[in-house]
Amino acid sequence: MTDDPRLLELIHADLDGRLDAAEKAELARRLLADPAARRLHDELRRTDTLLRDLPRAEPPDGLRSAIQGALGLSDHHRGGGRVADGGVGFRLAAAVVTGLVVVGLGYGLLSERRDTTALQGSVAAAGAPVATLRAGDGKVVARLERMGTDRVRLMLETSGATTGELAVISSAQGPACRAEGAGSSLSTSATGESILELSGGNTRAALDCAGQGQVRLETRSDGTVQDVATVALSQ
């Protein structure tokens, strides 16, 4: 009987190497006497083997440095002793990260009410370092990553039919923003507003903002602000 709970328990425990000698003998007797039990045992063992043989992936390039950058940690830590910043430094960094997660979650909540087909602001469900923007089809088109306590970088890549505007607005005398890549339509106004206009073509752009103060992100469609995220930078 292959639905016998005792038999199932013995087979699964066998797969996990958790049978003692008496239980092994009991399982062997049952398998010998019952062809259906033998087939069940074979199939579960094969399933177990297939699961164990699943390949592992290498993390994407830049993941570790993105994490360490977001936390303000150096990539070259090996052999380093204690640094002199004391517990205050850790608490400050942790507070900054807390703020980012809160901003991210708030941004995500705002986004859930949205129903647009153009560029949508939504924090990645996991609440990526700061924010992830997705197009209406769910594809990530922009990623805002903290590169340290005083620097944030927006990386944007679109192809296809994504339309809308992404405005990056720096507070007065706040962080300076500088375009690093070539956007299809990137402009910066005298008031510190950088606009990336997406008109359905391919766009690759990166924007670096560094300094102290706030950086505000707005996604817009037909001139209407759809979503907002604010990031505070400190030195």
Partner 1 sequence: MSEDDDAAAVRECLAGNGQAFARLVERYERPVYNVALRMLRNPEDARDVSQNVFLKAYQGLEQYDPQYRFYSWIYRIAINESLNVLRLRRREAGPVDEQQPADGPGPAESLVEDATQREVADAIDHLKPDYRAVIVLKYVAERSYEEIAEILGIEVKTVRSRLFTARQVMKDRLSARGMLG
1 binds partner 1 per the rule CB under 8 A = no
Question: In this structure, how many other beta carbons lie within 10 angstroms of the beta carbon of residue 164?
Answer: 26
Closest distance to partner 1 from the beta carbon of 229 (Å): 15
**x/- letters, 4..33, toward partner 1 (CB under 8 A):** ----xx--x--xx-----------------
90 binds partner 1 per the rule CB under 8 A = yes
Q: Which stretch binds partner 1 (CB under 8 A): 66-74, 195-203, 216-224, 225-233?
A: 66-74
Q: Could you tell me the two tokens for 180?
A: 């690093």
Closest distance to partner 1 from the beta carbon of 150 (Å): 16
53 binds partner 1 per the rule CB under 8 A = yes
133 contacts 196 by C-beta, under 8 angstroms? no
Q: Which stretch binds partner 1 (CB under 8 A): 29-37, 62-70, 154-162, 214-222?
A: 62-70
Sole binder of partner 1 in the list 26, 73, 157, 216 (CB under 8 A): 73
Q: Which residues bind partner 1 (CB under 8 A)?
A: 8-9, 12, 15-16, 42-44, 46-48, 50-60, 63-64, 66-68, 70-75, 77, 80-83, 85-91, 93-94, 97-98, 100-101, 112, 124-129, 132, 140
